[in-house]
Amino acid sequence: MYNIEDIETYNISFERSVVENDMIMDSYSGNLFSNNEFVFVDISSPIKQNFIIRDNNTILFYPEENKAITLKSNTISILPFFYTLKAFSVEDFGLSEKGYILDSTHFFSDEKTITSYWTPPKELQENIYKLELLIEQNNIVDVKYLNKDGVLVSSIQFLKIKEYNKILLPSEIIFTGKNSIGGLITETIIFNKIIINAPLPKEVIEFKLPDNIEIEEVEW
C-alpha cells in the first residue's frame, strides 16, 4: 500500500448533503481535481459553479452569470471534507502536526482495534477537551470530539473503505454535530469515483477566468 506522500493528484466525483433536524438544508454534486498547487471544484448541480483554491486565495466562479468572487484569507483555504479525506491517509489523522498530544492508547482483545485519546492545543480546549480516535485493521473509522463533561460535541465516520490505486480511502464520510440550539446536523459526502495519480484534464490545469468578467473581492 502507498501513503499520502505518494498521492500527487486527485480526480473525485462526489455528492454532498446537509440534513438538519431531518430536513435537507443543502445539497450539491460535482467533481474535484487537485494536485500539489491547487484544488479545482466543478459543481454541476443544483447550479453551475467553480471553486479554485490556491494557498490562501479562493475564487468562486458562476459561469452562467459571468461573475466571480475572490475570497482572500490570512490562512490557507481548503474544503473541509477534502482535508478530512486527505487526513484519513495520515497515521494519526494529522493530529500531531496540529498540536494535539497523545494521552493514552487502548488495544482491544482482537488486536485489530485501537482507540487513542488526544488532548487538543489550548486554543481549542474551550470547545474540545478530548479527541477519541478509533482505528480498525489499520484504518481510521471514527473520530469523536468531546467536551469537558465527556459529552459528544461532533464526530466523523469513515465508511465503505476501498482500495484506489493501492491506496485505501473511504467511499463515504459522515460528519455529525449540533447547531446553535442543540439540533442535530449531519453532513454526508459520498465519493462516486476516486482516481489517484492520473493526469488532470487540460481544461482544469489551464483554467482561466473570462476577460470580460465581473470580479468582486472579499476579505475572508
What are the extents of the domains in the chain?
4-219
The C-alpha torsion from 202 through 206 and 207 to 212, rounded to 10°, is -130
Q: Which CATH superfamily is domain 4-219 in?
A: Lipoprotein localisation LolA/LolB/LppX (2.50.20.10)
SS3 for 172?
strand
Torsions phi, psi for 210 (to 5 deg):
-60, 150
Tens of pLDDT, residue by residue over 106-147, are 998 887 899 999 999 988 888 889 999 999 988 999 999 999
pLDDT score recorded for residue 212: 86
Q: Which residues contact 186 (CB under 8 A, 6 or more apart)?
A: 18, 19, 20, 174, 175, 176
DSSP code of 177?
E
pLDDT score recorded for residue 119: 95
Instruction: Extract the residue ranges of the chain whose pLDDT is less than 70.
Output: 1-5, 74-78, 220
pLDDT score recorded for residue 78: 65
Return d(Cα 88, Cα 80) in angstroms, integer.
Answer: 12
Is omega for the bond preceding 46 within 30 degrees of 0, making it cis? Answer: yes
Q: Which residues contact 30 (CB under 8 A, 6 or more apart)?
A: 13, 14, 41, 42, 43, 44, 45, 49
pLDDT score recorded for residue 21: 84
Tens of pLDDT, residue by residue over 4-19, are 667 899 999 999 999 9
Contact criterion met (CB below 8 Å) for 177 and 153: yes
